[in-house]
Amino acid sequence: MNRFRLLPPTVDDFDTTIVRIGKSQMEKMGLHDGDTVKVTGMKSSGALCYSIDDDFKLPNDSDITYLSENPTILPSLRAGNFVGYNINRHGSGLIPVSVEKVYEGTRPASKVCLMSLNSGSDDESFARSKLDALIVCENDRLNFRDAVPQNNFGYHITCVEPSDYAQITKDTVIEFVKIKPDKISSFFSGPKLERLQDVIPIVYQETLNDVNVTIPSLEIFDTGIRFALYIKSDFEPSQTIQNGATSVVVTLEDDLGNLHELTNHGGGGSSSQNGFEYKHEFLGKPLHHDAKQITITLHEILIQERFPRESPGSVSRKPMRGTKEEYAKIDKFPAFVVISGPWTSTVQLN
């Protein structure tokens, strides 16, 4: 599996489904400029892949500090904000992602269905003008931001024909479908859990790189699964860490080889110069009925320094949710601390 560190895009790639990786990595993977790839973080989405110089850097890139012993330094991948949003809806940036080729070149989409995320009426002509050349998958979201408020539109993709990872062209039929509130809600909150079937005690606990990780149990419902993950660490005075948001990179895989998408459903905690203590809760769709065991892996923990407030009383900036013009004005992204795992627990299913 080809693993990369997700970095912010160039300004020109901001509102796109383009990813860029180093030329040497492209050659190793047998990729050519314009090939369609599948990018997987917490979830998967599609992109057009183009090469970039191996040592390419942006002046505003985050400074990264690795606290682990012998950390794995991944090659970088820069992704347009549509890609980053669809593979990592709840976490911070700079997560590890995997990349695999889907097509040589691109496959045109014959039809794409869009469901509006706006409460008011939409300007369909505006949407059509923004869609050309995008690579799309079912359940992706496209959030168009503009300095003019009436040009802010969001769409949920409900179908792609003939298949996912197809490219919208001028010949693609665009169909606007009726809003379904349940579908909009599930994008962020994950499956609605109903009828608890079983609670499997895991009682997994392990300390690695000065971080204690605990997973108490796995709850199995008719409509999905749920588990909580607790992380805690106390740092030595000599260690440096930014006081900011702490996120985790977690995957779940069964013994059949299926990688299950997870939704980070929330949690809470705090971090400081002395350490952190957090709880994260994850939801997933129902497990395959033939699966006998699952493996939960915490790959790494990321702590991101917060963006400075622009003025007293203002909210911190969220650049990847802003406009292209706002993004271009960012002088420096907040620094990151990375603590590598993996912390791995294998659970036998009843």
**Predicted pLDDT at 247:** 84
256/163 Cα distance (integer angstroms): 24
Residues above pLDDT 90, as percent of the chain: 47
Most confident of 70-74, 226-230, 329-333: 226-230
22 and 75 Cβ atoms separated by less than 8 Å: yes
Q: Domain-by-domain residue ranges, the chain?
A: 111-189, 196-348
More confident position, 66 or 162? 162
Same fold, 111-189 and 196-348: no
CA 176 → CA 111, 119, 131, 139, 173, distances in Å?
A: 11, 14, 13, 14, 10
Asked if residue 245 has pLDDT above 60, the reply is yes
**Predicted pLDDT at 314:** 45
Asked if residue 94 has pLDDT above 90, the reply is no
Return the SS3 of 350. Answer: coil
pLDDT, tens only, 194-217: 999 999 998 899 998 889 999 999
Find the angle CA(278)-CA(281)-CA(283) to the nearest 5 degrees. 160
Most confident of 30-39, 64-73, 91-100, 316-325: 30-39
More confident position, 303 or 79? 79
pLDDT, tens only, 109-138: 999 999 888 755 556 676 777 899 999 999
Beta-sheet strand order (sheet of 173-177) = 141-144, 153-161, 111-116, 173-177
CB count in 10 Å sphere of residue 301: 24
Tell which CATH architecture fits domain 196-348: Sandwich (2.60)
- pTM reported for the whole predicted model: 0.84
**Predicted pLDDT at 43:** 84
**Predicted pLDDT at 319:** 54
Mean pLDDT over 6-32 rounds to: 94
Mean pLDDT over 10-21 rounds to: 94
- CATH 3.30.360.30 for domain 111-189, yes or no, is no
**Predicted pLDDT at 112:** 95
**Predicted pLDDT at 83:** 94
**Predicted pLDDT at 305:** 79
207/345 Cα distance (integer angstroms): 13
111/163 Cα distance (integer angstroms): 9
Asked if residue 241 has pLDDT above 70, the reply is no
- Residue 332 pLDDT level (bands cut at 50, 70, 90): confident
CB count in 10 Å sphere of residue 341: 19
